[in-house]
Amino acid sequence: MSTNESIGEVSYDCMRCGTSVTIEELSSLPEIKCICGFRVFRKARQPIVKQIKAV
């Protein structure tokens, strides 16, 4: 994710070309497809690692 994206904004990466798109950009298009024509996306995860205490 780039640093100019707001917290909580969902971003997806194209599996073929790696282009990062937001959910707002995808919803504005008539179909869910990358600019390269590929239809498979991966949800980009935050770089934050959560640690929980074991019970």
Which whole-number Å values give the CA distances from 31 to 6, 23, 28, 34, 39, in the listed order? 25, 12, 9, 9, 9
pLDDT at residue 46 in the model: 80
**How many domains are contained in the chain?**
1
Q: Which of 3, 37, 42, 6 is nearest to 21 (CA)?
A: 42
Q: pTM for the complete prediction?
A: 0.64
Residues counted in the chain: 55
* Backbone dihedral angles phi then psi of residue 20, each to the nearest 5 degrees: -95, 125
Residues 39, 18: Cα–Cα separation, whole Å: 12
pLDDT in tens, 15-55: 999 999 998 988 888 889 998 989 999 998 888 888 889 88
Q: What is the pLDDT of residue 41?
A: 94
Domain of 10, in residue numbers: 1-55
